[in-house]
Amino acid sequence: MNSASQNLFTALRAAFPADLDQIAVEATSPAGEPLLYTWRDLDCASARIANLLASLQLPEGSRIAVQVEKSVEAMLLYLATLRAGYVFLPLNTAYQSAEIEYFIGNAEPAVVVCTPGNFGWVSKIAFTAGTQHVFTLGDDRSGSLLQRAAHFGDAHEAAPRRADDLAAILYTSGTTGRSKGAMLTHGNLLSNALVLKDYWGWQPNDVLIHALPIFHVHGLFVAIHGALINGSKMIWMAKFDPQAAIAAMQRATVFMGVPTLYVRMLAEPTLTREVARNMRLFISGSAPLLIETFKEWQQRTGHTILERYGMSETIMLTSNPYAADARHGGQDERRGATVGFALPGVGLRVVGDDGQLLPTGEIGNIQVRGPNVFKGYWRMPEKTAEEFSQDGWFKTGDVGKVDERGYVSIVGRSKDLIISGGYNVYPAEIEGYINDMPGVAESAVVGVPHPDFGEVGVAVVIPKPGARVDGDAVIAQLKSQLANFKIPKRCFVTTELPRNTMGKVQKNLLRDQHKGLFA
Ligand code: MLC
Ligand code: AMP
């Protein structure tokens, strides 16, 4: 391959159908009007934005930080960033000013794109951090980005990039300290997209229901790359609505969701075998899929959900088989409560706390390696080094086992992490905010089971001697500081936290105590 062909955009563009006037994306405007985009529209509009970015003469490797509502234009901005050879940095729309200030301060993006409504506070943060260009993009095609891009031509030769060059930075929180930016390369993203194209049996005539947010691995990479690299159409939903997703199944073949989406669709009486008849594949990931959900889906629709496992640092790692996997004797089925096999090219091993390889079937720490594994954390060489074993395997922080057939099961996490509706919430971050509140001596945040989100946070707060702390006030204050999905759903004020003889808070006891709260 020459260097130009390793730009991920070039590979995606090469998979567009020959007839560029076919529909590539069916979307709906915020006002409810149908919006159709042809493959030519995707090509020309991403070229205009890429030309705009190129005209800014940004230094090589510049980050383009984006916090906008989901829209097809937001996807085009992603494609344009790849095409122009810059580094895409997506930010969850739920993040508030303190969170955005940290990301922008840490990543030092050359360009920031935000919603027209947030321009005031976001641009202030960006200009203070040295960002030179702040554009706006609304979900109704409003804003300065498209206005400026309209003056540019609709052809753009993708910037040559090596497989090792950065394509995106995804921030993931840490168990201690601040968020870390996982650096993903063109090679990481392309290799994973090609493996999944094959493994999930994608066909050009597939139609994907895209109902996930596009600021994380699942919606941004797995879903968008999956459709584009197969020249497959997307039915684009700006927000997940279970009834609309079910109705779309009659015109679609592939659906990807976090478990909460499946739980919400199962609650709809319109979900039937008949409505799902045209579908080829339902994929779940980002959080554990309960075996009850897996079975209920099978009964209601006749389809077996394919569960897979991944992370921001590695994109996809394992998957249940679409078709029988010849590497395993060709007799595999999609098994509930497992995340399937290590994907082709991915090495996966289970080690004890001492780093020794464990025998088949034993529970331990999951480590991985492969062309999909990220390049490291942005400007954090020590953290990067800590997260790799001496012989170069990435420590996922997930705890699991591999059976004799090769099926991987995740049974827990060594990282103190709550996964709520597919979003990661790090208790240490929330505890830090609570501990800074007046009158608070200390706090602990734990995850408890929740019927809709799978797991949600619950806070336990200890006031300083003589101080009065109100649980609802703690929650109200957190809501003014942090993304909404991180807010604990309940807050208890009590006199002490359970500790072991070493003085460490026994979070397992707190989890046990509160596990029935939302049952
Ligand atoms: C929303 N809320 C949540 C929440 N989402 N609470 C806990 N966990 C969540 N995930 C709360 C809000 O705080 C708000 O509370 C109320 O629900 C309504 O907010 P909303 O925004 O209207 O919610 P809704 O649209 O219903 O969103 C739920 C959801 C969304 C499940 C559709 O969370 C979602 O899209 N999740 C998908 C996340 C995802 O794509 N993960 C992939 C990560 S990649 P209040 O109190 O303010 O009213 C990854 C790697 C891999 O993990 O392997 O894929
Ligand atoms: P993120 O850092 O947001 O990419 O989240 C990655 C984490 O999500 C992984 O380390 C796992 O803990 C979790 N995860 C992803 N897919 C699954 C799955 N199918 N089952 C259980 N956990 C999962």
pLDDT digits (tens, 9 = 90+) for 317-366: 999 999 877 777 777 799 999 999 999 999 999 999 999 999 999 999 99
Top mutation candidate among 424, 429, 486 for ligand 2, by most atoms within 8 Å of CB: 424
| pLDDT score of 328 | 73
Residue ranges of the alpha helices (H) in 150-268? 186-199, 217, 224-228, 242-248, 259-266
CB-based burial of residue 364 (10 Å sphere; 0-12 exposed, 13-18 middle, 19+ buried)?
buried
Q: Please state, in angstroms and rounded to a whole number, the distance separating the CA atoms of residues 400 and 382.
A: 26
Residue 4 has pLDDT above 70, yes or no: no
| pLDDT score of 33 | 97
- CA end-to-end distance (rounded Å), the chain: 55
Residue 3 has pLDDT above 70, yes or no: no
Residue 1 has pLDDT above 60, yes or no: no
| Average pLDDT score over the chain | 96
* Helix, strand, or coil (residue 422): coil
Residue 174 has pLDDT above 80, yes or no: no
Identify the band that residue 2 occupies on the pLDDT scale cut at 50, 70 and 90.
Answer: very low
Ligand 1 closest atom vs CA 456: 7
Q: Please state, in angstroms and rounded to a whole number, the distance separating the CA atoms of residues 92 and 100.
A: 9
For ligand 1, is residue 484 a contact (CB within 6 Å)? Answer: yes
Top mutation candidate among 170, 173, 256, 260 for ligand 1, by most atoms within 8 Å of CB: 260
Mean pLDDT for 60-77 is 98
CA 463 to centroid of ligand 1, rounded, Å: 30
Identify the band that residue 236 occupies on the pLDDT scale cut at 50, 70 and 90.
Answer: very high
pTM: 0.97
Top mutation candidate among 214, 258, 313 for ligand 1, by most atoms within 8 Å of CB: 258
Q: Which residues contact 5 (CB under 8 A, 6 or more apart)?
A: 11
Q: Please state, in angstroms and rounded to a whole number, the distance separating the CA atoms of residues 219 and 23.
A: 20
Q: Please state, in angstroms and rounded to a whole number, the distance separating the CA atoms of residues 454 and 470.
A: 27
Residue 168 has pLDDT above 70, yes or no: yes
Give percent of the chain above pLDDT 70.
Answer: 98
Residue 34 has pLDDT above 70, yes or no: yes
Give percent of the chain above pLDDT 90.
Answer: 95
pLDDT digits (tens, 9 = 90+) for 374-399: 999 999 999 999 999 999 999 999 99
Q: Please state, in angstroms and rounded to a whole number, the distance separating the CA atoms of residues 456 and 439.
A: 25
pLDDT digits (tens, 9 = 90+) for 205-230: 999 999 999 999 999 999 999 999 99
Q: Is the CA virtual torsion 373, 377, 380, 382 positive or negative?
A: negative
Residue that is written with structure tokens 């030309």 in the block: 51
Which residues is 307 bridged to in the sheet? Answer: 284
Structure-block tokens of residue 138? 């609304």
| pLDDT score of 323 | 87
pLDDT digits (tens, 9 = 90+) for 397-449: 999 999 999 999 999 999 899 999 999 999 999 999 999 999 999 999 999 99
| pLDDT score of 393 | 98
Residue 31 has pLDDT above 70, yes or no: yes
| pLDDT score of 324 | 74
Residue 175 has pLDDT above 70, yes or no: no
For ligand 1, is residue 423 a contact (CB within 6 Å)? Answer: yes
How many C-beta atoms surround the C-beta of residue 340 within 10 A?
25
pLDDT digits (tens, 9 = 90+) for 37-55: 999 999 999 999 999 999 9
Residue nearest to atom 1 of ligand 1 (CA): 485
Query: Ligand 2: residues within 6 Å at CB?
Result: 172, 216-217, 285-288, 307, 309-312, 339, 396-398, 410, 413, 419, 424
Mean pLDDT for 256-284 is 98
Ligand nearest to the CA of 287: 2
Structure-block tokens of residue 96? 């508030």
Structure-block tokens of residue 338? 């497992």
